[in-house]
Amino acid sequence: MLKKVVVIGPESTGKSTLCEALAKHFQCPLVPEYARQYIDLLDRPYIFGDLEKIARGQVLLEEQALKKTDKLVICDTDLHVLKVWSEHKYGEVSPWILQQITQRKYDLYLLTDIDVPWADDPQREHPEPLMRKYFFDLYQNLIQKSGVPYTILSGENKARVKRAIHRIDELLVKIN
């Protein structure tokens, strides 16, 4: 009974750090955020058409990780993030992304709170507190509508990791 856990949240909320800690703790595959590596290779700003390519890359990385285990996979994002960014920046979403969102199933979302300091990064776009709150609310709303259980992770990194491990342990106990 393979379980898929997604860490999701606004920019600069510790998602990747959390994912690495969880994958190490559970000794399971980690699906990195494909957008980061894709954008790093671009010699121009990303455009609407890039978002579906990023989504396809994210799905491919996830499928590769799923082949490596039968227990647990930690995903550093899912396609909801691309949906949110696409709607926010371009006012539309690729039909392929929308279709994949309905088909891909997850078992738990860990939503990272905005209560950590902003860390500058060339790929990050919205450091303003109101925008961080705006995106947090969007992700929480999407997750609630999905019907998948979720937990909001607040506080410093150690507390987040401890709470996330506890929630994943609860998820894994249900399958044993």
Q: What is the pLDDT of residues 57-68, one digit of tens each?
A: 999 999 999 999
Asked if residue 119 has pLDDT above 80, the reply is no
Asked if residue 174 has pLDDT above 90, the reply is no
Asked if residue 72 has pLDDT above 70, the reply is yes
Element of type H or E holding 153: strand 150-153
**% of residues, the chain, pLDDT over 90:** 87
- Give the least confident one: 73-87, 108-122, 127-141, 144-158: 108-122
Question: What does the block give as tokens for 5?
Answer: 């856990």
Domain ranges of the chain: 3-173
Q: Which CATH architecture has domain 3-173?
A: 3-Layer(aba) Sandwich (3.40)
Compute the distance between CA of residue 5 and CA of residue 109 in angstroms, rounded to an integer. 6
Mean pLDDT of 73-84: 96
Q: What is the pLDDT of residue 125?
A: 65
Instruction: Answer yes or no: are the C-beta atoms of 20 and 30 closer than 8 Å.
Output: yes
